[in-house]
Amino acid sequence: MRSEREELSHECECEEVHAELVRLKREELPDEESVSRLSDLFKVFGDATRLNILFALAHGPMCGCDLAAALGITKAAISYQLKMLRGHDLVRYKKEGKNVIYRLSDDHVKSIIECAIEHINE
C-alpha cells in the first residue's frame, strides 16, 4: 500500500499557470451542449443491462423476445431498456410481421463497445 507521501508525489508542485497552453486547451473543449449530450450518453452506458443488450446486438440483430431470453430478464424490462437505447439513437428497430428486430444504430456504437472492452482488458 502506498504511503500518503508517495501519493502526493504525483501532484503538480509548480505554481506557474501556462496561460497560452490553457487558452489553447480551452479553445479545443467542446461546447457545453455537446458535453451535456455526451455526459447523458455515457450515463446510458452506465447500466449493465443496457450494456448487455448492446453487446448482444453487436453480434447481429435480434428480436426483443430473444434478447429478453438471452439476458434472462422479462420482456417488459427489455422493452424499457430498448426504449432508452432508442431514445439515445444507439439502437434501431424494424417490424417484421409480429417480430420487432433490433440492431445497433451504426458502427460507431459497436466501436465504442469494442474500444471500452480493449481498455478494460489492458
Residue % of the chain over a pLDDT of 90 = 85
List Cβ<8 Å contacts ≥24 apart for 83-89.
84/44, 84/50, 85/44, 85/50, 85/53, 85/54, 88/40, 88/41, 88/44
Residue 11 confidence class, pLDDT cut points 50, 70, 90: confident
Higher pLDDT, 109 or 14: 109
Q: Which CATH architecture describes the domain 31-121? A: Orthogonal Bundle (1.10)
Closest C-alpha to 91, from 73, 110, 74: 110
* pLDDT at position 116 over 80: yes
Lowest mean pLDDT among 8-12, 31-35, 49-53: 8-12
Cell representation of residue 22: 490553457
What value does the mean pLDDT of the chain take? Answer: 91
Residues 49-74 have a mean pLDDT of 96
pLDDT, residue 3, reads 58
Residues 61-71 have a mean pLDDT of 97
Domain coordinates of the chain in residue numbers?
Answer: 31-121
* pLDDT at position 6 over 60: no
pLDDT, residue 13, reads 81
pTM for the predicted model, two decimal places: 0.79
